[in-house]
Amino acid sequence: MKNIISFLKKNDLYYTIARYALAAIMLRYSVMKVYGMQFATVLPFSSWGQSLEHLSGYQLTWAFLGHSYWFQVLMGLFEFIPACLLLFRRTAFAGAILMLPMVIGVLMVNYSMDLWSNTKKLALVMFALNLLILVFERKRLANIISIIAGKGKYKYVIPELVIALLLVGSAVYKKVIKTTYHREVTNVLTGDWFYKKSYEFNLVSERINDSLLPHHSVRAYFDPYSQYSELNDSVNNGDGYKHYEIDEKRKNLYITELPFMKRSTRENPYYYHLGGDYTYELQGDSLLLQQAIDDSTIHYRVFKRRELDVTKLY
């Protein structure tokens, strides 16, 4: 009995259980990825024809991760190699170090995308096992950290700090502060996009003067970056993005088509009309666009506004 109790008190027992358990779990999923089966398809097949606002977190995740086969294989290898290292005492520490970022990634995906409750629990178990292995190897881990941190005094600390602050400040200024104004874009065409309440406009009718044109499906979108796009019966109108400017006081809308990501104004020499100048009128959820093609011809388009609520995806 004393031998059994003594055996149960040994750290090596629990260290071995932890590394074999983690290896067993990760080997299973890594082989599925390498074989191309874990993200093989998004089920049910009826979800393939749905728009993003109707898809769940797991469907979006599976569609993204399964889009590229070689990416699946790469993820599988990044899990398979550390799992194999965990099977041997001599290489288990290296396996735990290499496995940690993969396990953290699995944990984050499960909870941020709100996947199944069982997979969330399994991700927590994997993370706990990985941490437990590193706790048992804490002395070797501390040695590595001390090697990375180094010893002794460093020269040029102040210049490095100044350069670091300048680089961080530049990144924050360019990517955050200068684009903050986009968060404030909540005009009658974009909706409150920052809080996932954007607008979609569905074509109801179209005519030239009094002649009604044949009905066809068109969905129009005005994004906060002054880009306009349409989806029609067959395909996106995609020769690059169209650019729009809105004058809410005069009820004017200017739509142009330029090379990708160019910006135009009416004074800009690159400005030219493909969509042209429109006047718009919004009554409730009905949007009327009018374009004077010439002195005697007016193009009318009537859209029905719909709010896209994609808050459930985040």
CA 306, 282, 219, 243 dihedral sign is negative
Q: Where are the alpha helices (DSSP H) in the chain?
A: 2-8, 11-34, 57-65, 69-86, 92-112, 117-136, 138-149, 157-172
**Residue range 47-78, pLDDT digits in tens:** 777 777 778 778 888 888 888 889 999 999 99
**pLDDT band per the 50, 70, 90 thresholds, residue 263:** very low
- Distance (Å) of CA 280 to CA 4, 88, 199, 269, 301: 84, 71, 16, 25, 10
Residue 230 CA: distances (Å) to CA of 196, 203, 216, 241: 19, 10, 12, 10
221 pLDDT higher than 70 = yes
CA distance 71 to 51: 24
Does the pTM surpass 0.85? The reply is no
Q: How far apart are CA 274 and CA 304, in angstroms?
A: 23
How is domain 191-313 classified at the CATH fold level? Lipocalin (2.40.128)
Out of 26-35, 177-186, 301-310, pick the least confident.
177-186
Express each pLDDT in 160-172 by its tens digit.
899 999 998 888 7
HSE value, Cβ hemisphere, 13 Å, CA-based, for 300: 14
3 state DSSP class of 206: strand
- The count of residues in the chain is 314
